[in-house]
Structure 1
């Protein structure tokens, strides 16, 4: 298994778009997610999308984005759109994807990362610190997290 930038495996782009649209789309059109993915494939620049592959099978994806929550544009950058294929869950792949983005953020000189989630008690076990609630469009309360890129926690 390996985690690579999507720009090194562009044939997975449509599947990543479908996953994000299905999991995070709510009322947003598929084209919205296609635009995000299309613009997150430039080496060394945010936003970036990564994929976890096993030989030629796509198992998961995650993004390192400038902004993932429009109401909190003061926070930067974000671990975003973490998704693991249902049949591959329970194998620690979400943790591998998180660690990869954390390492990428550190390599790019960022001191901290942010994310938001509707659930609690998942990200804390990977070292994320709950920092309060936020508001997702149009009126959904979400939980905000911060990760200090100084050390990776299992």
Structure 2
């Protein structure tokens, strides 16, 4: 059974699962209502922001978002791939690459020539064709890394 990538706006029955993943992974220090509000407004079908869900059969196994900005210090960079997450039991199956490809496809369709992301991971995105740009400070005082993907090649 293959992986299907769908737009969350078309299948809102996966909304709560996506909210739980994002909250646990990146925002558990905030009320989950904040994440629910953001996800509900980041689920467009024809413009940024969008949220996608990876399905194996009818089971949600991962998510990714496509935002105008994911780093308040860098308003000059846009758009962004954000919140890439795959459930632990489904890792190692190439699902992150499929989720990335869906955002890349949508970005190209909307006329963008580049895409950005932030991460604390080492060496993962380089293997997927992303170029490291710089380290950037986070509000917490530590650092994150900014990557860029050229969509014209």
Q: Which interval holds the TM-score relative to the shorter structure?
A: over 0.9
Equivalences, count: 151
2:20 aligned residue: 18
- Note the alpha carbon deviations across 1:40-89, whole angstroms, 9 max, x for none: 12221211000011221001000000111111111100000000010000
Residue 136 of structure 1, CA deviation = 2.0
Distance 1:140 1:102 in 2: 28
1:134 aligned residue: 136
Distance 2:73 2:29 in 1: 18
SS at match of 1:114: strand
Q: 1:33 aligns with which of 26, 32, 35?
A: 35
Q: CA RMSD in A?
A: 1.0
Consecutive unaligned residues of structure 1, counting only runs of 5 or more, are none
Q: 1:122 aligns with which of 121, 124, 140?
A: 124
SS at match of 1:121: coil
1:82-121 alignment runs, 5 A limit: 82-121=84-123
Residue 26 of structure 1, CA deviation = 4.7
Residue 138 of structure 1, CA deviation = 3.1
1:67 aligned residue: 69
- What TM-score comes out, normalization by structure 2 length? 0.95
Distance 1:42 1:113 in 2: 18
- What TM-score comes out, normalization by structure 1 length? 0.94
